[in-house]
Structure 1
Amino acid sequence: MDAVWNTRYNTGIHIIDEQHQELFATVDRLRKSVQGGSAREEIEALLSDLIQCSERHFSTEEAFMAKFGYPDLTQHVSEHASMLTSLHELHAKFRESPHALALMVPTFMEGWLKHHISDGDFGFVTFLKARNLA
């Protein structure tokens, strides 16, 4: 199954939606690279890109949430930190055993993204809409 962007993940916040799409596209490139038997260096570069995209996106989201006084910001930041820890751990494990972990990363990331957008990010969107801020 490809990590494909779906409009049901639209938050209505342009920069957030663009970054979500970028994350899905990076996960999809990673999956295709792994399935296509790409070189270890290419896969590792895509993993690094995924981590950088995630860090940039989380920073953007957290800044938006702080700006508008989102009450669940602390929980959301905690989820982001946990995800980044997991990604860094998976990246380190990939360096030790590329074949065993290569397919786990895109599957893990895709599942996390879908859950996080649906449960976490839409809570923020609901908060903004209730205050006529979105």
Structure 2
Amino acid sequence: MDVVWSTRYNTGIQLIDEQHKELFSTVNELRTSVQAGADRQVIEHLLDSLLRASARHFASEERFMGEHGYPDLAQHVAEHAAMLTSLKELQAKFLESHHSMAMMVPTFMEGWFKHHISDGDFGFVTFLKARGLV
């Protein structure tokens, strides 16, 4: 089952929305590749891409939040750091036992996306809207 992008995840911030869509797409590509029995190198590349895209996205969000004085920035940064740590741990476990661990990544990311975008990112969007910035 794919991680499905929905308009309910639209933040109204074009860069953030594009990055969220990229992350959803990478997770879906990873899931499809694992289910199809793709080569280990393909999966490793996708995991690495997911990790890099996540780190890039988090840096964008954090920079944007910092520029606008978002009061919950520290909490948001902590959530990002925890997710990156979890993703790196899953990646390391994949290197030990590749196929079974690879399917855990899309499942983990799907749950994290749904929670983080709906709860965390929309708190920032509400903050920006109250100031007429979005």
RMSD over aligned CA atoms reads 0.6
Please report how far the alpha carbon of residue 124 of structure 1 lies from its aligned counterpart in structure 2 after TM superposition: 0.1
Provide the C-alpha distance between the structure 2 equivalents of 1:27 and 1:67, rounded to a whole number of angstroms: 29
Provide the C-alpha distance between the structure 2 equivalents of 1:62 and 1:53, rounded to a whole number of angstroms: 14
Amino acid at match of 1:117: I
Provide the C-alpha distance between the structure 2 equivalents of 1:51 and 1:99, rounded to a whole number of angstroms: 18
Please report how far the alpha carbon of residue 4 of structure 1 lies from its aligned counterpart in structure 2 after TM superposition: 1.6
Look up the match of 2:16: 16
Instruction: Indicate whether 1:100 and 2:104 are aligned.
Output: no
Instruction: Indicate whether 1:55 and 2:59 are aligned.
Output: no
Please report how far the alpha carbon of residue 100 of structure 1 lies from its aligned counterpart in structure 2 after TM superposition: 2.1
Provide the C-alpha distance between the structure 1 equivalents of 2:44 and 2:99, rounded to a whole number of angstroms: 12
List aligned pairs for 1:82-97, cutoff 5 A: 82-97=82-97
Q: Percent identity?
A: 70
Please report how far the alpha carbon of residue 57 of structure 1 lies from its aligned counterpart in structure 2 after TM superposition: 0.1
Look up the match of 1:73: 73
Aligned length: 134
Q: Which runs of 4+ in 1 moved over 6 A?
A: none
Look up the match of 1:3: 3
Provide the C-alpha distance between the structure 2 equivalents of 1:15 and 1:32, rounded to a whole number of angstroms: 26
Provide the C-alpha distance between the structure 1 equivalents of 2:7 and 2:101, rounded to a whole number of angstroms: 30
Where does structure 2 lack aligned partners over 5 or more consecutive residues?
Answer: none
List aligned pairs for 1:30-45, cutoff 5 A: 30-45=30-45
Amino acid at match of 1:36: A
Structure 2-normalised TM-score? 0.98
Q: Secondary structure at the match of 1:56?
A: helix
Amino acid at match of 1:11: T
